Amino acid sequence: MSQSGSALSELAARARAAMTAGRPAEAAQLWSQLLALAPDHPQALFHSGQLALHLGDTAKARMLLERAANLSPKDPLPPLNLAIAARRLKDEAAEAAALDRALAADPYCYPALLLKGAMLDRGNQPRQAARIYKDALAILPPDDTLSPDLREQAVRARELVAKNAAEMQAALEAELAPLRAQHAGALDRFDQCRDVATGAKKIYTQQPTVLHYPGLPAIQFYDKADFPWLKALEAKTDVIRDEFLKLYHEDAAGFAPYVDHPPGTPVNQWAELNHNPRWSAAHLWRDGKRDDAVCARVPETTRAVDAVPKVTIPNFGPTVLFSALAPKTRIPAHTSSTNVRLIVHLPLIVPPSCGFRVGNETREWKVGEAWVFDDTIEHEAWNDSDQLRVILMIDIWNPHLSEAERALVSALLNGIRKYNA
């Protein structure tokens, strides 16, 4: 390195150190010295422009940042700061041009996206602003890593995106109402499509923790018409509830914590409920093994369950249980083992203020009204009441699997188990 190059590097290092130490006036002086030696030094121009902005000399900042942007066309930071200077000078055209330059250099420059959204928002263009804000929010890092200014802009971005989604939803519902009225029957899939298109909801995918079977549809709640045997199960609600109550009152201690991870297992979101009786269960079947003692104490429930097309995978399924959720208890969002099976819920005791979410759809249980859902899609449950909530849960085969596929899946899972034994 030449003597002049060494001097420039030393000045730049001293200037950066002064900036890091919070001495802006000293840093500005050092950058000025560097510019006197090298008028087209991109770093010196950029940092001098930043410092001029910080010190309130906006006109000087604009001049320096314009030169820095011209010298570093692939760096988004000079035009980003140039846009800030232009805004302070109330030059909207220059601000827009600078933001476009920043995004041309880096389309994922989220501060530039937030500033562009804010500019459109100020200009009374909420729909255009919402589109830009939505792009920014998709790549925004966690709020606690943002500067106070960017955090405030992110809050506004979320507000406007949500407001625009609601307005678009209302407009489209009005637009589509005449056509929709011509088509009778359930249109749940279309409603999901519309809600995702407007941004009112997001798509949740299957995320099995053990086995993913390709090609099976990711359906949050299945149509009850696909399971004609549900009516017979629902008809047994009263007797099943009575048998549960007898079992629970005679042997509440026999209800074990549903979450039971051994020591050394990562518990993650299950830390609060691990070994905690606030979510407890009495199993009729567990991992493919029938508990004859429990089944004998609830004979009508057992007969009703025997009529259901349960999963039959030795050492894995079915699992059938009474799920008891204590008052003021929440089951955190999670996904389960495999999409080759689905889960039946038959609500037995449902106080007010209980709810269940699968993906982007939230429902309230109603006693005696069963549903079937895919538990490899993120789901959560809560009991905000002062009373116990009780569900009968049953594993069933995913109806989209053929008999041959069911046999092969069973052999596959047990082959893996045998290999890892």
Question: Which residues touch 158 (CB under 8 Å, ≥6 apart)?
Answer: 133, 137
CA distance 375 to 381: 12
Please check whether residue 367 is in contact with residue 234, taking contact to mean a CB–CB distance below 8 angstroms.
no
Other residues' Cβ atoms within 10 Å of the Cβ of residue 254: 14
Q: Tokens for 55, please give them.
A: 């010190």
For each of the domains in the chain, give its residue range(s) and CATH number, in order of start: 3-162 (1.25.40.10), 224-420 (2.60.120.330)
Q: Between helices 77-88 and 42-55, what is the axis angle to 10°?
A: 30
The amino acid sitting at 244 is: F
| Backbone phi and psi for residue 140, each to the nearest 5 degrees, phi listed first | -70, 135
For residue 43, give the nearest of 30, 55, 53, 54 by alpha carbon.
30
* Residue-level pLDDT at 179: 87
* Residue-level pLDDT at 4: 63
Below-70 pLDDT ranges, the chain: 1-5, 186
CA distance 309 to 396: 6
For residue 116, give the nearest of 91, 145, 136, 141 by alpha carbon.
136
Using DSSP's 3-state secondary structure scheme, residue 215 falls into: coil
pLDDT in tens, 102-157: 999 999 999 999 999 999 999 999 999 999 999 999 999 999 999 999 999 999 99
Reported pTM: 0.78
How far, CA to CA in Å, does 72 sit from each of 66, 67, 75, 306, 324? 10, 9, 6, 72, 63
